[in-house]
C-alpha cells in the first residue's frame, strides 16, 4: 500500500481531471494507466475522505430534498414539489398545473388510458399542456360532472383538452356527480354509455385527480353539490370527513366514510386508484394539508405534485408510515 500522501495525491489528481478539467472516466483511466473501474472507486474514495465535496447550487435543491423526504415517508413512486412565485391560491394552482402538465408529457405512453377528475387544479394541468403529439391515448372522466350552479366544473373541457394534446380520444361522463337518492344511481348505471364510461375509468392505468377539503373553498361547494349544512354534517359525528377525491369522502386515516353520500355518488371507487400504474394527485395549499395527509394515509396515490409550504406541513404532521401496503 503506498504512503498516505501518495494516495491523497493520486485521488486529488483523478478528481481534478474528472471534475474540474471535464475529462471522462475513460480518458482519466487512459491518461493515468489505471482501469476504468478503479477510477470510479477512486472518485468515491475522494468523496469519503473529503477531498471532493459536491454542492448543488440551485434554487430547486430545496424542492429536491423535500421530494426525497416525502417519497421516503409516504412510500411514493415520485413527488414533485413546486415553489410558486406567490402564496396566493391562484399562483399555487398555476404552478401545480404547469408541473402536472410536464409530468404527463414525460410519463404518458402510447396506448395509455388516462382517467381524470374535474377540479380547478386538474383544469390548470389541462390548460398548460402543449401539443405533445399522437400517442393514441384515451382520456376518460372518472366522476359525474353536470353543472349545478354558475360555477362550472369545466369537466368536458378538461377531458377534451388532454385528449387533444396527446392526439387521443375523449370519453365524457355526461351525468351528475351526486344525486338525491341511491336508486337514481342504479337508474343512471342502467344507461349503457354511462356504464361503459365508468368501466373504462376503472380500467385506466393512469389516474389524474385533485384533492378537495371539506370546506367552502372546495370545488364541490362552489359547484353547488354541497351546501353549508352538508359540510357540517360531513365534518362532524361518525363521518369525520377531511377530504374528497372524485366526490367520495374519507377520514383522517384515509378510510372511506359518509356512506349516505357515497351511495348517491357517481364516480369510480377510491379503492380502484390503488391499483393504477400511475395514480397522480395534484393538490396544494396549507388549507389542504389535512385532506392530502388523509389521502396519503389511504394510499390513494403513488405520485404527488404539491407546493413547498404544503410539503413541509405534511412532513411536520406525519410520522413515517408503516410498510404494511394496505
Residue extents of the structural domains in the chain: 4-48, 61-317
**Closest of 232, 228, 224, 261 to residue 244, by C-alpha:** 261
Cell of 144: 359525474
Q: Rounded to an integer, what distance in angstroms lies between the CA atom of residue 283 and that of residue 183? A: 33
Give the number of other Cβ atoms within 10 Å of residue 81's Cβ: 25
Cell of 325: 401496503
What is each CA distance from 34 to 6, 17, 50, 126, in whole angstroms?
15, 13, 22, 53
Cell of 64: 429536491
Please report the pLDDT score of residue 325 as a whole number.
42
Which residues of the chain fall short of a pLDDT of 50?
Answer: 1-3, 320, 322-326
Please report the pLDDT score of residue 156 as a whole number.
93
Handedness of CA 107, 325, 75, 93 (dihedral sign): positive
Q: Rounded to an integer, what distance in angstroms lies between the CA atom of residue 234 and that of residue 90? A: 26
Please report the pLDDT score of residue 324 as a whole number.
46
Q: 92 near 285, Cβ under 8 Å?
A: yes
Pick among 3.40.50.300, 3.40.50.1360, 1.10.1660.10, 3.40.50.970: CATH of 61-317 = 3.40.50.1360
* 4-48 fold: Arc Repressor Mutant, subunit A (1.10.10)
Shared fold status for 4-48 and 61-317: no
DSSP of 136-191:
--EEEESB-----SSS---HHHHHHHHHHHTT-EEE---S-SB-SSHHHHHHHHTS
Q: Rounded to an integer, what distance in angstroms lies between the CA atom of residue 119 and that of residue 209? A: 8
Amino acid at each position: 500500500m503506498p504512503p498516505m500522501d501518495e494516495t491523497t495525491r493520486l485521488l486529488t489528481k483523478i478528481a481534478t481531471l474528472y471534475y474540474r478539467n471535464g475529462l471522462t472516466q475513460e480518458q482519466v483511466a487512459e491518461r493515468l494507466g489505471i482501469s476504468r473501474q478503479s477510477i470510479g472507486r477512486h472518485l468515491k474514495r475522494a468523496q469519503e475522505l473529503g477531498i471532493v465535496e459536491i454542492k448543488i447550487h440551485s434554487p430547486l435543491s430545496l424542492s429536491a430534498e423535500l421530494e426525497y423526504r416525502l417519497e421516503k415517508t409516504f412510500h411514493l413512486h415520485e413527488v414533485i414539489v413546486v415553489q410558486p412565485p406567490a402564496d396566493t391560491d391562484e399562483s399555487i394552482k398555476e404552478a401545480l398545473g404547469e408541473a402536472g402538465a410536464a409530468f404527463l408529457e414525460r410519463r404518458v405512453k402510447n396506448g395509455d388510458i388516462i382517467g381524470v377528475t374535474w377540479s380547478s387544479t386538474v383544469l390548470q394541468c389541462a390548460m398548460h399542456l402543449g401539443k405533445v403529439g399522437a400517442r393514441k391515448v384515451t382520456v376518460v372522466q372518472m366522476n359525474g360532472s353536470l353543472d349545478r350552479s354558475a360555477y362550472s366544473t369545466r369537466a368536458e373541457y378538461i377531458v377534451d383538452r388532454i385528449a387533444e394534446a396527446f392526439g387521443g380520444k375523449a370519453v365524457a361522463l355526461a351525468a351528475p356527480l351526486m344525486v338525491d337518492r341511491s336508486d337514481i344511481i342504479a337508474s343512471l348505471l342502467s344507461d349503457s354509455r354511462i356504464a361503459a364510461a365508468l368501466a373504462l375509468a376503472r380500467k385506466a392505468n393512469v389516474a389524474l385527480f385533485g384533492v378537495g377539503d371539506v370546506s367552502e373553498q372546495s370545488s364541490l361547494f362552489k359547484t353547488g353539490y354541497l351546501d353549508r349544512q352538508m359540510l357540517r354534517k360531513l365534518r362532524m359525528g361518525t363521518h369525520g370527513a377531511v377530504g374528497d377525491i372524485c366526490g367520495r369522502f374519507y377520514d383522517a386515516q384515509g378510510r372511506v366514510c359518509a356512506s349516505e353520500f357515497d351511495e348517491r355518488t357517481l364516480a369510480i371507487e377510491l379503492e380502484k386508484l390503488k391499483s393504477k400504474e400511475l395514480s397522480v394527485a395534484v393538490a396544494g395549499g396549507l388549507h389542504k394539508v389535512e385532506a392530502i395527509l388523509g389521502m396519503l394515509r389511504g394510499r390513494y396515490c403513488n405520485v404527488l405534485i404539491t407546493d413547498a409550504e404544503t410539503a413541509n406541513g405534511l412532513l411536520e404532521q406525519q410520522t413515517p408510515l408503516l410498510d404494511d401496503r394496505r
